[in-house]
Structure 1
Amino acid sequence: MLIGYARVSTQDQDLQLQLDALQGAGCERIFTDKASGSQKDRPGLNDALAFARPGDALCVWKLDRLSRSVKQLVDLSAALERREIDLKSITDGIDTKGAAGRFFFHIMAALAEMERELNRERTLAGLKAAKQAGRVGGRKPKMNNSKTSIALTLLASGTPAKDVADTLGVSVATLYRYCPAASRAVSDASSVES
């Protein structure tokens, strides 16, 4: 069975052009969505995939109706292939039932894998360069040596931890992380009281 899927990005857009093309291609059942292609959870696509059986073909007006990224498209194509469901794009002239269509998707899969590897290599190179330049990733520390010194002085003078944290603009948990001796003193004091 040829199963159609049509999608537009907003409620204001019209599906009719795609519906006409899918009906003209011979789709016996058509599922639709009015949602962004970047959305992972699209009820119409989910229903189309659940409805499809081995030997069926999922037909779209254009490949970009299925996905906004090559990786997402390749992943969907691989899932369809595992389930023995073909993929057909009317405008793009692609049909995985034939050797040329399958070859096209194998090339796309290889390109997507290469893109992932290149992104990984660029990220690692960037981290290495930043480390060599003396920059460390992550958030800036909430407290510096000066704040820690002030906190220790205030805590030693008997100022409650909550007041010290408020004064320094940090949470009590952050205060205790930078002044672990103070947190031990508070827990020791509360154990003596009980």
Structure 2
Amino acid sequence: MIYGYARVSTNSQDLAQQLAQLTAAGCVKIYREKISGATAERPQLKRAIGALDEGDVLMVTATDRLARNTRDLLNILHAVKEAGAGFRSLAEPMVDTTSQFAEVIIAVLGIAASWERERITERTAAGRVQARARGVKFGRKLALTAHQQAEALDRLAAGDTQRTVAALFNVSQATISRLIGR
């Protein structure tokens, strides 16, 4: 039986293209996930590997959908092999773990995937730097505006308790406490 595994990194990305490719390639069941490939904790991938029996095949559209670093890729492929199953990548047709040459190709592809992950990290960091330079604020929005913060501090100075001030502005007491600490 041929099982497929499709993964995208974020909820804003779409699995449709991968699903269409895997279905066209004959996958009977496709496990899907919207989680970063940089993490080894992927429940649907574990389910897919757990479903494999002797002679089955786990198929992906590209090896970078399976893993982004060599160690994870090799660990996943070892688990597939332990189940007695094979592995195939549609984007890299030479990657078929039923041949001995494939292990060399898989190691090289794992290294390439790791480099790609580093490039993604570098591009993301550069994008953040550019955004900060344009004045984009990162992180959570403040619970209180600057005017509300000043009013809260005035009330505290006037003798109101943190709990009272927090209730007045509909925020937690911890928010008011942090305001004092600034």
The one-letter code sitting in structure 1 at the alignment partner of 2:33 is S
**How far does residue 18 in structure 1 lie from its aligned partner after superposition?**
5.6
**How far does residue 122 in structure 1 lie from its aligned partner after superposition?**
0.7
Select which of 39, 45, 48 maps to 2:49. Answer: 45
Distance of aligned partners of 1:71 and 1:142 in 2 relative to their CA distance in 1, 3 Å threshold:
same
Match status 1:63 vs 2:59: yes
Match status 1:78 vs 2:74: yes
Aligned equivalents of 1:46, 1:128: Cα separation in 2: 42
1:64-116 per-residue CA deviation (whole Å, 9 max, x = no partner) reads: 29988142696664026667948344985743353542233133213211220
Match of 2:129, SS state, is helix
Aligned equivalents of 1:179, 1:75: Cα separation in 2: 47
Give 1 or 2 for the bigger CA radius of gyration: 1
What corresponds to 1:186 in structure 2?
A: none
1:103-162 per-residue CA deviation (whole Å, 9 max, x = no partner) reads: 331332132112201111111101221232333421232234322221122223333322
Residue-pair matches, total? 150
**How far does residue 168 in structure 1 lie from its aligned partner after superposition?**
1.9
The one-letter code sitting in structure 1 at the alignment partner of 2:179 is Y
Aligned equivalents of 1:125, 1:109: Cα separation in 2: 24
Q: Which runs of 5+ in 1 are unaligned?
A: 10-16, 20-33, 52-56, 182-194
Aligned equivalents of 2:88, 2:180: Cα separation in 1: 63
Choose between structure 1 and 2 for higher RCO, CA contacts under 8 A separated by at least 6 residues: 2
Q: Would you say the 8 A contact 1:77–1:87 is kept in 2?
A: no
What corresponds to 1:149 in structure 2?
A: 150
1:3-27 per-residue CA deviation (whole Å, 9 max, x = no partner) reads: x663699xxxxxxx667xxxxxxxx
Aligned equivalents of 2:78, 2:31: Cα separation in 1: 26
1:9-56 per-residue CA deviation (whole Å, 9 max, x = no partner) reads: 9xxxxxxx667xxxxxxxxxxxxxx663328334462264xx8xxxxx
Q: Which runs of 5+ in 2 are unaligned?
A: 7-25, 35-41
Match of 2:33, SS state, is coil
The one-letter code sitting in structure 2 at the alignment partner of 1:141 is L
Aligned-residue sequence identity (percent) comes to 20
Aligned equivalents of 2:86, 2:69: Cα separation in 1: 11
Aligned equivalents of 2:69, 2:119: Cα separation in 1: 19
TM-score normalised according to structure 1 size: 0.55
